[in-house]
Amino acid sequence: MTISSSLNAGVAGLNVNASRLATISDNIANSGTYGYKRSVANFQSMVIGQGQGSYSAGGVRVVTGRIVDQRGTLVTTDNPTDLAIGGRGMLPVTSANALGSGNGDYPVMMATTGSFRPDADGVLRTETGLVLLGWPADSDGSIPTFPRDTTDALEPVRVQTNQFAGDPTTQMELTVNLPATGTQAGASGDAVTMSTEYYDNLGTSQVLEVSFAPTVPAAGASNEWTMTITDSAFGGAVIGTYTLTFDDARGTGGNLLSVADTLGGAYDPATGRITVDVAGGPIDIDIGEIGEPGGFTQLSDSFSHAPVTKDGSPVGNLISVEVDDGGMVHAIYDSGLTRAIYQVPLVDVPNPNGLIALSNQAYQISPSSGSFFLWDAGTGPTGDIVGFSREESTTDVAGELTQLIQTQRAYSSNAKVIQTVDEMLQETTNIKR
């Protein structure tokens, strides 16, 4: 029995070292594979109950697995949708075959990196058939609230490269200086004007014309102006009339003292804004807060205004897509408009090493990995999403070659044990001749 157990232990040693050799071979073969996680073979001894005066070899068995939570080095690329993760977490992906089935059922897998590019339908996918998943944004670029313990709301990230979009103007900031001499007795009373462009809901260029008419008193100075705003989209109709009064006290002279509305939205002293209704909807105009420098002032004897700060843009063509560190997918247009179209969450599980490894460096949830949770990138335990980057293989070639030498020696030693047992059994057979 003891000799037979030695033979079995030697055979088991050959088998486990063959498995270890297989993991080493796989690791070396994938040393240049982006996102590859090295495989390991761990040996465990097997013990058989021992009797007095004898010992039976139990042998050895092997347990193999992947070190998924080990991170490779990030390398820079020239593709904005080459994605990697700077820390914990994985990208949600599905297979191109599931996408092609058309039934809307997308089995979710995970990957730590991928080179995603639009296919013929605009879907971001890798050459190996992994499709990036994300939450779709609303028309205003905001992401609705989705449950974090289910993947039902995730859908393939689709980029329409022939897409056009315009961004209507919703707010602007005016910086204007009115001449203090214009409201003094004897002044001409001529109005001064300025105009600014804005974009309506269809991306069409429109013009707001703003005129300032001084109130000229019989004596002294009124420090009062009537501001009138007209909209070209309404054929030049007046959409706002306001009476502006400026302070002439020492230390605060030239700053706004009060704003009274005759037509248009009321002035908000807390924000320094008025709201006017143009053809496409309301526009908030910042004219400055009461008593604060900036915005509207009345100083010296000249009329001047700074360039108008505003949002909005004309219709533009989609030229690029980028993913920021929070996982927001931004569509960038040649007009300068940038709009969020998806958010890519990060999937995290309690035990990443318990995930089921699939082809193409993809992984799947298993009972050993634990349940998943969808995090915003950079929050909780997860790292940031890094664009223009790929994650290299975690294989250390020098370390694998060292283990290869050890495995070869161990394999040869186990083979020697089998040879020795064979010779001993032969000697036992030769006792009777």
Alpha carbon distances (Å) from 372 to 92, 151, 348, 350, 360: 11, 10, 6, 8, 21
Integer Cα distance of 210 and 225 in angstroms: 12
What pLDDT score does 51 carry? 64
List the Cα angle 327/91/344 in 5-degree steps: 30
Decide: helix, strand or coil at residue 171.
strand
What pLDDT score does 163 carry? 65
The beta strand positions in 32-103, using DSSP E, are: 39-45, 60-66, 74-76, 82-86, 91-95
> Tokens in use for 27?
């690791």
What pLDDT score does 202 carry? 86
> Tokens in use for 30?
């994938």
Integer Cα distance of 283 and 264 in angstroms: 11
What pLDDT score does 359 carry? 93
What pLDDT score does 57 carry? 83
Whether 9 and 56 have beta carbons less than 8 Å apart is answered as no
Whether 229 and 212 have beta carbons less than 8 Å apart is answered as no
Reference 341, options 110, 41, 66, 135; nearest CA is 135
Could you report the average pLDDT of every consecutive run of 10 residues in the chain (433 residues)? Answer: 80 93 96 96 84 76 93 95 96 90 81 95 94 92 93 91 76 96 95 95 92 96 97 94 96 94 92 93 95 93 95 86 95 85 96 95 95 96 96 96 95 92 86 74
Instruction: Write the DSSP assignment of 175-197 as a string of letters.
Output: -EEE-GGGGBTT-----EEEEEE
Q: pTM for the full model?
A: 0.75
* Helices 2-29 and 397-429, axial angle in degrees (round to 10): 160
What pLDDT score does 79 carry? 95
